[in-house]
Structures are given as C-alpha cells and as structure tokens.
Amino acid sequence: MMTENAVPTVTLNNGIEIPQLGFGVFRVDPDKTNRIVRDALDVGYRHLDTARIYHNEEGVGHAIKESGVAREELFVTTKLWNDDQTDASAAIDKSLARLGMDYVDLYLIHWPAPDNDTYVQAWRSLIEIQQSGRAKAIGVSNFTIDHLERVIAETGVVPAVNQVELHVDFQQAELRAFAAGQGIAIEAWGPLGQGKINQSEELAGIAAAHGKTVPQTILRWHTQIGNIVIPKSNNKDRMAENFDIFDFELTAAEVATIATLDQGEDGRNGGHPLEVH
C-alpha cells in the first residue's frame, strides 16, 4: 500500500500501518525542532520519531500544530526512557502532554537497560498503555534476541517493532532474521551510519548506475530489504534528497553486493544494548 506522498507502508503485527520512511529528531536542538520538523513536513514526511530523552517532544508537537497537517495523517513515535521503566504510565502521560496529543501511534521502550532488570515490567505497562488507547502500537528499541525472547515468553505479547542501530556497516542479519520469524518489524536508527557513510567503491558504483547519491542508495537498500528507516537532517535540501528514493530499484545482485559490506560488531557506532543504563 502507498500513502499519499508515495511512501510505502509496513503493516505491523497488530494491523497498524507505518510509513516505511520517516524523519528522526535525535540530537535536534529543542530550540530548532519547530523549524526542522516543519521543513520535514513540508518535504512530505508524515512519520516522525522522537523520544523523551531528546528533550524536543514539545517542539515536535508545536510544529505539527503550526503545520496544519491533520493529526490522523501523521504517524508519531516517542519512547520510554530507562529511568522511567517502573512507571511507564506516568511517563507516557507526560510525553503526550508535551506533544499536545491524546495518543501516539507507536510507543517504544528506548533501551533494555538490563542491569536495571525492569524492562519486562515496562513491557507489561506498555501492553496496558496500548489497551488504554494512548498508543496504537507498542514496541521496543535496541533489544537483542535474548531481550525479545524474554518479553515474549513472560508476557505472550510480541513487540510490533524493534528499533535498532542498522546500516550498511552493521547489518544485524541474525537479529533481522529472528524478527522476521516473530513478525517484528525492524526499524533502523542511524541508517546512514550517523554521518559515517560507507565510502566503498561498490556503493559509489551502484549509486552512479542509478543516477543517485550514496545516501539515497543506502536508504533504498534499507527499504528493499524490509527495514523501516528514519534518517535525520537539519537541512531541507538533504531532507528532500533522503525522501527521493522510491523512483528506482536496486537489482538482486546490487543488494547482494551491499550485503558483503557488513562489518558485524566492528561496524557498530552507537551504544551496546548490554552497556547502556
């Protein structure tokens, strides 16, 4: 299925549809969030990803109100921070107040923070939050296979999404395969490597063959292998470039070539799920 702005949607395991290409506001200055999100909406993005710990939920909410885009046309995600895992119900109420909304489309546990051993308790709370209507879908972020297996075993409820670091240098094939088997959608944060874009001759050649940039080629690769992807940029022209990825298709051979660029754990740029508290 396609949305009005020609972005494909992925159907989550509870039937909710999420635009496969979204816009993230990680490390977006709260004072600049309004302008940046307005620019993204102007370009055509209708999927916005924020979090309590980003300190810019309020700016996202203001930008949406000022944009004139109807709430029902948007897919909005926010996240439960680690320190709030024992009181997720209060945490989402505060996030909703900052966003100026009655519900979010997706609410995620931001990190498992396993040393705290509260992520299963948090997941039970998210199940209740979804039942209350404050989130249409619920999921997790930065969960390993072990973390996923535990929440599923202890609650019987499978997360709709696992948002993880995933890019050409760190492709997480084993996690992707497990998620596919469980009906969990994979969402990639840092999809371009958090600015450390792969500069290989292979990628440059593939991009040139399609008359596209390397970042466009990487984002297209993500969508073709089934990932939901949330690039970010403070620059409107770059936002538009990242949005312009659905008028070409990589060949099976090109996708296979990109698979060879995976560096495994050596390619990880962000924190490890076992080490973030």
DSSP 8-state code for residue 198 = -
Helix or strand or coil: residue 44?
coil
pLDDT digits (tens, 9 = 90+) for 137-149: 999 999 999 999 9
Has residue 72 been placed in a domain?
Answer: yes
Mean pLDDT of the chain: 95
Residues of the chain with pLDDT under 70: 1-5
Contacts 24+ apart (CB under 8 A), 68-76: 69/41, 71/101, 73/4, 73/46, 74/46, 74/47, 74/48, 74/105, 75/18, 75/19, 75/22, 75/46, 75/47, 75/48, 75/105, 75/106, 76/47, 76/48, 76/50, 76/101, 76/104, 76/105, 76/106
Catalytic residue among 54, 103, 107, 119: 54
CA distance 183 to 15: 11
**Which pLDDT value is given to residue 6?**
84
Given this model, what pLDDT does residue 4 score? 42
Q: Give the containing element (helix H, strand E) for 177.
A: helix 173-182
- 134 within some domain: yes
- Is 1 a domain residue? no
At residue 137, the pLDDT reads: 98
* pTM check: above 0.85: yes
Query: Is 71 part of a structural domain of the chain?
Result: yes
Q: Is residue 274 part of a domain?
A: no
Instruction: Specify whether 119 is catalytic.
Output: no
Asked if residue 34 is part of any domain, the answer here is yes
Could you tell me if residue 97 is inside a domain? yes
Three-class DSSP category at 274 = coil
What CATH code is carried by the domain that includes residue 150?
Answer: 3.20.20.100
Return the DSSP state at 176. H
The predicted pLDDT at position 102 comes to: 97
Looking at the 3D structure of the chain, how many domains does it have?
1
Distance of CA 235 to the CA centre of its chain: 19
pLDDT score recorded for residue 166: 98
Strand partners, 167: 170
> What is the extent of the structural domain holding 254?
9-267
Instruction: Report yes or no on 256 lying in a domain.
Output: yes
15-58 residue pLDDT tens = 999 999 999 999 888 889 999 999 999 999 999 999 999 999 99
Q: What is the pLDDT of residue 2?
A: 39
CB 187 within 8 A of CB 229: yes
